[in-house]
Amino acid sequence: MKILVINGPNINMLGIREPGIYGKQTFADLLSLIDKTAREEYLDIEQFQSNHEGAIVDKIQESYKKVDGIVINPAAYTHTSVAILDALKSVAIPAVEVHISNVDARESFRQISYPGMYCEKTIKGQGLDGYRQAILYLKEAYGK
C-alpha cells in the first residue's frame, strides 16, 4: 500500500514555532516517526512538505492512480483553501486530515476546514502521534 503524507506551510518549523502549541519535537523528528511507522507497518510512505498552496495542489494531482491513501496536514491552508479541497475531490483518493494542535479549542478562524470537507476522518490535538493514527486508519480501511 502506498501512502502520501503531505504537510503544509510552517510545519517544517516544528520545534521552533510556538512550542507551547506544537511541542518541542522537530520536523526531522516527524519525518523519522513517519518513516518508522512505514517500516513497522510494511507500508510505502512518501513524504512531502511545501509552504506553497499550488505546489500542494500539484502534488495531489500527481498522486492520481499512484497512491492508495493521503494523510494531509494542510496547516494554515486548512482554513482558506478551496483549491486543496477541489484537488482532493479530483483525485478521489481516501484521505485523512491531521492537526497537531486541538484546533477546536483555538481561534474562531481555525474552526473551518475546507480540505476536511473531503477527508473521511480528522485527527486533532494528538501531537505528532496523530500522523501515525491516520496512517494506521488508512491501512486498516484500505490496506492490501
Number of C-beta neighbours around residue 44 at 10 A: 11
- Comparing CB distances to ligand DQA, the nearer of 1 and 133 is 133
* Helices vs. strands in the chain: H and E counts, helices first: 5, 5
Please enumerate in sequence order all residues whose Cβ is within 8 A of that of 135, keeping only pairs 6 or more positions apart, or say none: 3, 5, 34, 37, 38, 41, 43, 45, 71
Q: Which of 77, 99, 114, 131 is catalytic?
A: 99
Binding ligand DQA (rule: CB under 6 A), the pick from 34, 100, 123, 128 is: 100
One residue of 12, 50, 63, 78 binding ligand DQA per CB under 6 A = 78
Residue 76, interface with ligand DQA (CB under 6 A)? yes
Considering only the stretches 37-45, 53-61, 72-80, 135-143, report the one whose residues sit in contact with ligand DQA under the rule CB under 6 A: 72-80
